[in-house]
Amino acid sequence: MKNTIPVKILLIAAALPLFAGCASKAPTNVGPQVATADTVYVGQPTQPPPDNQKDVIPAPPGPRTLWYFIPGHWEWRGQWVWVAGHWRTRPHPGDIWLPGKWLQQTNSMQQTNVYVWQKGHWRSGAPADEESTDR
């Protein structure tokens, strides 16, 4: 019986490091929140993006009623970077993707023209007033 107490102590001591990562402290330095507006400043590009590249569209991973090809677009990361297109499931069969676009706006603080990204979004059915292609 005397030997079981040291064995238990050894087991507890051996298990303590396993619990060391369980306690966590709330972060005190939280970064900026993600903007939720449709138009978001993403840096300050003052030149328009290059012409769009042609995406090579692979076969859809499933039926086209469920999958839609979102075309690639230019993204500003201190310089223009092409983000390739990809297949994504539609929220509802028949929904189409209205792609995002770069809009030129005047930055009144700096008296310069800048480009802002207007995010793309899903729309049900084909809109009458905007161009889109069901891919």
CA-closest candidate to residue 99, choices 81, 83, 80, 76: 83
d(CA 16, CA 129): 65
CA dihedral 82, 88, 94, 98 (to 10 degrees): -30
pTM: 0.57
4 pLDDT exceeds 70?
no
Question: pLDDT higher for 94 or 31?
Answer: 94
Report the SS3 class of residue 121. Answer: strand
> For 50-75, what is the mean pLDDT?
93
75 pLDDT exceeds 90?
yes
37 pLDDT exceeds 70?
no
In the chain, where are the structural domains located? 32-123
What's the pLDDT at 2? Answer: 58
d(CA 98, CA 121): 5
Report the SS3 class of residue 14. Answer: helix
